[in-house]
A and B are shown apart, each in its own frame.
Chain A
Amino acid sequence: MTSVTYHDVRFLEPAKTRNYLNVDYGAFSWLFTKDHKRIGILYMFSISIMFILGGFFAMMMRLELLTPEGDLLTSDTYNKFFTLHGIIMIFFFLIPSIPAVLGNFILPIQLGAKDLAFPKLNLLSWYLYMIGAFVGLLVIILGGVDTGWTFYTPFSTQYSNMHVFGTTFGAFIVGFSSILTGLNFIVTIHRMRAPGLTWFRLPLFVWAMYATSLVQLLATPVLAITLVMLMIERVVHVGIFDPALGGDPLLYQHMFWFYSHPAVYIMILPAMGVASEVVAAFTRKKIFGYKFVAFSSLAIAFLGFLVWAHHMFVAGISVYSAMIFSFLSYFVAVPSAIKVFNWTATLYKGSVSWQTPMLYILGFIGLFTMGGVTGLFLAALGLDVHVTDTYFVVAHFHYIMVGGAVMAYFAGIHYWWPKITGRMYPEWWARLSALLVFAGFNLTFFPQFVLGYVGMPRRYHAYAPEFQVLNVMSTAGASILALGYALPLAYLLWSLRFGRKAGVNPWGAVGLEWTTNSPPPKDNFHETPVVTWDAYDYPAMLKAMGETQNV
């Protein structure tokens, strides 16, 4: 039993040993793997396909919106495209993204564990994901669905004769995959920490994943049961949510958003976790206010459950409940702002190095802040009534989901790529892609704030001519963004063969994942590590390294 310290690992060359990638080969060794690292990679592969598919629908919409007339897509097709785009991006890409890929791969290693608590369940959740996604994709082939990703009744009951059943069923199944992942993480974090790894020594990514998992566990079943009721309603034609049959459409919205607002935190909390890791690693400092950042994740998860009806201000809820939900929505801003302040405070006087993960995270911090602040605008009743269902809302949620969550996902992929594959990605190209994504993103979505504010409604394929200039800007930005996203696909694949060998700890970062080989051995560590240091103890590490050099 040895405890690993910083100075020795920094210079430890990866022994030429077996790792999780070369222990065995062949399709079956992947399809029946119980190794969390391989399952993470299976997820990475699957959600990348989804991202490309969702991106395709987005690009088609943006091309349609280049001109005011509806000339490229009929309005029916446009309706299907935004629906499929939304469903794919949210349920099949973004919700699994950081948890199922990076969480799966990194979390057990950060805990010093050999695997998640329930490896078979983990594999099962990937299969559920695949089955759900397959059902969802089948719907596209069969003719699509046009209700919007929210499946609002009575669109989804009376007016849509399309494949609402199939799509909701797909989302239902994927929901269980999400629940099982969350369950696995919670148990793993509670029960599988290495000796010495107390709660307040945990990396903030772990705290973030913990909070995320709680939301997955407690919110997703409500969506599941809501979708079941919707399916029953469509099959037996009894009014549960359909007003024409005596059902209550508002109840549907309440139940849908009871999940789907917290779901926003399933998307953003992991992103915040990645941000904390990256900020610490590239400023070589302890995260300022560690405990505040840790507890703010839990606070966000909790408060996230209390604000759902801010999506329903104009749907006919009473003025009083609207006021209460508006008021509560402001509270969520507090823990979110705490995080942003703490990251910036960490940056202050840090020796910031401008590697790609850091660039992505700086983008994340800026764009998330924009998304958050415009979220506060929307939480204000008066303004929301003005901009509901306009492009202002579209811009707002893309700032959070794409500018925030997707940026952080890319940051995390770059940050942990050396660990996952054992290879470095090409830094120059990666920086270029980070810049393209940032520029392209702003050009795509900033004009949409203006468009929405001056009244362009969402979900139409045609618009008034005076909106064209801003729409052209947005489509141009989308093209740059697409390029920015395509680049990593190319150079990351390239790096698998030609990338420089990464070594144990290419960033000189602290954290258990940086004490084991890259790629890690099948059981993650050759010996169970014993943790004797606090999270982000860069000062101690720098000191230790100085001492080794003095020797």
Chain B
Amino acid sequence: MTAVVHGDDEHAHHPFLQHQFEDLGQQHEASILGMWMFLSTEILFFGGVLCAYWIYRVMYPQAWVLGGEQQNTLAGGINTIVLIISSLTMALAVRNAQLGSRRATVAMLIATLFFGSVFLGVKGFEYTMHWREGLFPGVHFTWHEVPELAPKVQLFMVFYWGLTGLHALHMVIGVGLLLWMIWRAWRGHFGPEYYGPVEVMGLYWHFVDIVWIFLFPFLYLIPHFGVHHG
């Protein structure tokens, strides 16, 4: 909250100052807090599924091991690294926007966009393989290597597709937002006074990365730390 109050006439109107705010500082703080609040909702959203996931992992440990074995750990690992790098470029984009260097901001945003797309590409590849192997739940589910556990493995795959799908959806939205930010940065909208949108975008992007940091071990590395029941 700023202590200074302007009368209506003395407003030095910045082109991006929205009318409900007194000044850019207030607008900036509001948008950052708004994103944090949104992320806290997201945590519970993902948290809900992860909780269900965990309960079934305890109930059906062998099926979870088998499910994990269907995953391409190499692809998942590459994607993890790709996303971590994209977080770095995102952070650099925010920093450059704040410093007002337009070119560097655009470059870093494009780099982020690139890594994000690589992630989605690899994910698409994995999805295609799963589909071919009959690992998509429902009528297409034709995986029967261990027949008595097949229904439970299918349940694992429901969580796999659900969680990674939800995550991929967030990535796609992130890519859309990135394109918008690139356009705005290119037009020179950002500078030391006004870089809130890039920072908010950054928060979102880091969050989506962190979600993946949880999903990767849960969904891919399970066999290596599997529960060994006799």
On A, residues with C-beta under 8 Å from B are 1, 113-119, 179, 183-184, 186-188, 190-193, 195, 217-222, 224-226, 228-229, 232, 235-240, 245-248, 251, 255, 523, 527-528, 530
Contact = CB atoms under 8 A, between A and B. Distances in A.
B165 to A, nearest CB: 10
Contacts of A255: 48, 51-52
B1 A238 contact: no
Interface of B: 1, 3, 5, 7-8, 18-22, 26, 29-30, 33-34, 37-38, 40-42, 44-49, 51-52, 55-56, 59, 137-138, 151-152, 154-155, 158, 162
**A-side binding surface: helix, strand, loop or mixed?**
helix
A192 B26 contact: yes
A179 B138 contact: no
A117 B30 CA distance: 7
B158 A191 contact: no
A245 B151 CA distance: 8
Given A117-B20, A237-B138, A255-B52, A187 B41 contact: no
Contacts of A187: 30, 33-34, 37
Contacts of A190: 30, 33
B52 A251 contact: yes
A1 B19 contact: no
A236 B52 contact: no
Given A191-B26, A195-B3, A239 B44 contact: no
Nearest to A179: B41
Nearest to A213: B37
Contacts, number: 109
A169 to B, nearest CB: 16
A217 B40 contact: yes
Contacts of B3: 195
B48 A226 contact: yes
A119 B59 CA distance: 46
A273 to B, nearest CB: 20
B20 A192 contact: yes
Nearest to B33: A187
Contact of B59 (A222, A248, A530): A248
Contact of A222 (B26, B34, B44, B138): B44
B48 A240 contact: no
Contacts of B26: 191-192
Contacts of A220: 41
B155 A191 contact: no
Contact of B34 (A118, A235, A528): A118
Contact of B40 (A114, A116, A118, A218): A218
Given A114-B19, A183-B41, 14 more contacts: A117-B20, A187-B34, A187-B37, A188-B30, A192-B26, A195-B5, A224-B45, A236-B138, A236-B158, A238-B154, A240-B155, A240-B158, A248-B55, A528-B5
